[in-house]
């Protein structure tokens, strides 16, 4: 009996010892140690965001960022290259300066929109006017149009408050908050109906104003946060288009409304560069045992240029670069080939990743897994099986190796459903390849940093980004080492509750290979 008990204890101890050895995988331990004790994230962020800045497709900064990334990978002993897949309208942002000259002098906060037709260094000086308060019909609007000749036209609704709703909720009475929201909803509806009666949409009216001789267009694409606006592209062909922050825009609007005839001077220098190459930046660590099977780390490199593209998608870029650096140092001979894709022109329709998928069927067919990160600086909190029936089996195994202080924040959904768009994992999913989004805690992403003038280095939460680099590196290591090839068996797609018809798996789409012209 004693002998049997001793034997049982020995078996338990051996099992515990084996479990402990597995739990303390030296590669994983070294990945965690390197990420925490020798992080390069802050330095990389400074060089990419502060020095190079935003990476609008077709700009010299996008080319500069690619050259920088290739050089960084070279320093780490990682092979990197640029893969051209098309062309885009080349453009370079210059100085924007907006001043009100009357009824008093004040410098105003705003910036030219992307691909803006530039002004001379002298700029354009003109009165600022607003659209008619009530447009009877399209004929009345056509009769009014000559009034814009030689004028800057303010074409965005004058917001009734510059305070975000969360600020109202904190300080206003319930009655006051409700009153404001109801009035704003009514004003917004009336504004949209007024534009519709002109015979144009909010976009097509810009062309009508330009044809009527407007000196320029002024917008305020407020993002519902303090001091924050969305910055997208200009829709004018020859006249300047600028976006102005709410505080100055609404002041200018009121001055025009009250008949004070405000005059502004806009200097919006920029330069057209013709048709330029557009490209992906690719880095690779070759596999030793299964080089024709791949793990693809995925993040788009391009950004809008209201800020410096820090959280969209500078942080995703940093995660993938740091993960690749650590893997090269701690896992230099992976079983499967590890690729990182820094995609171009994601913001204009996932063009870079769609081109890669279309141009590299061998890699797509041999894909073990792809991990994409794109929605801000926060720690990863959601991972979906993306519609692959057995995703739980392998994602679950891989996640089990990640430190619990990281996985405890992550909610998984299996088998999930495939993404039809939104970010670059969708490009791979449409081709039937197992691609997974690492979805982050938003840190007020949608209002404050997504495509805004406030998407800058100071919004990065480096503790969260470091956790994401550890997560990505370990998932990549586990996917590379996994003796099994991932299953691509798909779920039966659910019924669309709106149409009553069965949903279909997303279809592969070709990229725009010549854009912005």
User: Is 185 among the domain residues?
Assistant: yes
- Cα–Cα dist 69/72, whole Å: 5
How confident is the model over 432-444, as a mean pLDDT?
97
User: Is 285 among the domain residues?
Assistant: yes
116-147: per-residue pLDDT in tens?
Answer: 999 999 999 999 999 999 999 999 999 999 99
Choice between 6 and 355, residue whose per-residue pLDDT is larger = 355
How confident is the model over 29-41, as a mean pLDDT?
98
pLDDT at 363 over 90: yes
235, 395, 410, 431, 471 from 382: Cα distances, Å? 37, 12, 5, 23, 12
From 228, 261, 294, the end of a domain falls on: 261
At 239 the pLDDT is 98
From 232, 261, 290, the end of a domain falls on: 261
The verdict on 471 and 449 lying in the same domain is: yes
The verdict on 313 and 455 lying in the same domain is: yes
- Cα–Cα dist 455/227, whole Å: 12
User: Is 469 among the domain residues?
Assistant: yes
The verdict on 317 and 386 lying in the same domain is: yes
The verdict on 220 and 353 lying in the same domain is: no
User: Domain holding 145: CATH number?
Assistant: 3.50.30.30
How confident is the model over 288-308, as a mean pLDDT?
98
User: Is 499 among the domain residues?
Assistant: no
- H and E: helices and strands count for the chain: 16, 17
pLDDT at 112 over 60: yes
The verdict on 416 and 354 lying in the same domain is: yes
The verdict on 437 and 293 lying in the same domain is: yes
At 447 the pLDDT is 96
Burial class (CB in 10 A: 0-12, 13-18, 19+), 37: exposed
The verdict on 110 and 78 lying in the same domain is: no
Instruction: Please say whether the beta carbons of 130 and 154 come within 8 A.
Output: yes
Number of residues in the chain: 517
Percent of the chain whose predicted confidence (pLDDT) is above 70: 96
pLDDT at 5 over 50: no
- Minimum mean pLDDT range among 4-13, 145-154, 195-204: 4-13
User: Domain holding 307: CATH number?
Assistant: 3.40.630.10
At 517 the pLDDT is 87
User: Is 338 among the domain residues?
Assistant: yes
User: Is 515 among the domain residues?
Assistant: no
User: Is 493 among the domain residues?
Assistant: no
From 235, 261, 287, the end of a domain falls on: 261
H helical segments located in 106-245: 138-144, 165-171, 174-197, 204-211
The verdict on 43 and 150 lying in the same domain is: no
At 23 the pLDDT is 59
Across the chain, mean pLDDT equals 95
398-427: per-residue pLDDT in tens?
Answer: 999 999 999 999 999 999 999 999 999 999
- Cα–Cα dist 102/427, whole Å: 51
Closest CA to 236 of 334, 136, 116, 357: 116
SS3 (DSSP) at 310: helix
Closest CA to 60 of 92, 95, 86: 92
**Full domain range(s) for residue 246:** 104-261
At residue 44, what are phi and psi to the nearest 5 degrees? -60, -40
At 84 the pLDDT is 98
- Cα–Cα dist 306/288, whole Å: 43
Domains: count for the chain = 2
Greatest Cα pair distance, the chain, in angstroms, is 105
244-261: per-residue pLDDT in tens?
Answer: 999 999 999 999 999 999
The verdict on 112 and 38 lying in the same domain is: no
The verdict on 465 and 359 lying in the same domain is: yes
Closest CA to 333 of 284, 286, 282, 297: 286
Q: How far apart are the first and last CA of the chain?
A: 86
The verdict on 179 and 303 lying in the same domain is: no
User: pTM surpassing 0.85?
Assistant: yes
- Beta-carbon contacts of residue 145 (< 8 Å; ≥ 6 apart): 208, 209, 212
pLDDT at 334 over 90: yes
- Cα–Cα dist 452/450, whole Å: 6
- Cα–Cα dist 366/354, whole Å: 17
User: Is 17 among the domain residues?
Assistant: no
The verdict on 320 and 405 lying in the same domain is: yes
């Amino acid at each position: 009996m004693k002998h049997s008990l001793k034997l049982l204890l020995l078996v338990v101890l051996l099992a515990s010892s084996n479990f402990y050895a597995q739990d303390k995988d030296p590669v994983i331990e070294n990945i965690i140690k390197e990420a925490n004790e020798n992080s390069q994230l802050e330095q990389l962020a400074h060089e990419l965001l502060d020095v190079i800045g935003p990476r609008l497709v077709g700009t010299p900064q996008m080319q500069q960022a690619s050259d920088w990334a290739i050089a960084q990978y070279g320093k780490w002993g990682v092979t990197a290259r640029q893969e051209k897949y098309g062309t885009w309208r080349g453009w370079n942002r210059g100085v924007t300066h907006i001043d009100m000259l009357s009824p008093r002098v004040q410098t105003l906060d705003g910036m030219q929109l992307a691909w803006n037709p530039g002004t001379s260094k002298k700029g354009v000086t003109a009165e600022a006017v607003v659209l008619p308060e009530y447009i009877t019909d399209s004929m009345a609007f056509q009769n009014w149009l000559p009034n814009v000749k030689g004028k800057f036209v303010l074409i965005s609704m004058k917001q009734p408050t510059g305070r975000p709703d969360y600020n109202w909720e904190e300080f206003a009475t319930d009655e006051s908050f409700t009153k404001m929201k109801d009035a704003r909803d009514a004003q917004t509806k009336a504004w949209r109906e007024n534009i519709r009666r002109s015979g144009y949409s909010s976009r097509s009216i810009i062309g009508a104003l330009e044809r009527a001789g407007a000196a320029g267009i002024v917008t305020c694409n407020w993002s519902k946060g303090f001091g924050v606006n969305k910055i997208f592209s200009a829709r004018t062909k020859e006249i300047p288009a600028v976006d102005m922050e709410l505080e100055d825009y609404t002041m200018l609007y009121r001055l025009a409304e009250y008949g004070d005839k405000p005059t502004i001077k806009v200097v919006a220098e920029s330069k057209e560069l013709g048709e330029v190459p557009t490209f992906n930046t690719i880095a690779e660590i070759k596999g030793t045992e299964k080089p024709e099977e791949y793990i693809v780390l995925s993040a788009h490199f391009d950004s809008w240029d209201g800020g410096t593209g820090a959280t969209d998608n500078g942080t995703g870029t940093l995660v993938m670069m740091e993960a690749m650096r650590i893997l090269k140092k701690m896992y230099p001979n992976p079983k499967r080939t590890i690729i990182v894709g820094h995609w171009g022109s994601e913001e204009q329709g996932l063009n870079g990743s769609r081109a890669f998928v279309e141009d590299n069927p061998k890699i797509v067919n041999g894909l073990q897994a792809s991990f994409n990160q794109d929605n801000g600086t926060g720690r990863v909190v959601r991972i979906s099986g993306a519609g692959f029936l057995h995703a739980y089996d392998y994602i679950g195994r891989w996640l089990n190796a990640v430190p619990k202080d990281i996985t405890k924040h992550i909610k998984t959904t299996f088998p999930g459903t495939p993404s039809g768009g939104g970010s670059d994992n969708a490009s791979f999913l449409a081709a039937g390849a197992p691609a997974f989004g690492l979805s982050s805690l938003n840190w007020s992403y949608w209002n404050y940093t997504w495509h805004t003038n406030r998407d800058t280095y100071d919004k990065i939460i480096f503790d969260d980004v470091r956790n994401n680099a550890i997560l990505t590196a370990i998932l990549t290591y586990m996917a590379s080492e996994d003796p099994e090839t991932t299953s691509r068996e798909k779920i039966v797609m659910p019924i669309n509750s709106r149409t009553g018809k069965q949903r279909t798996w997303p279809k592969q789409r070709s990229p725009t290979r010549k854009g912005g012209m």
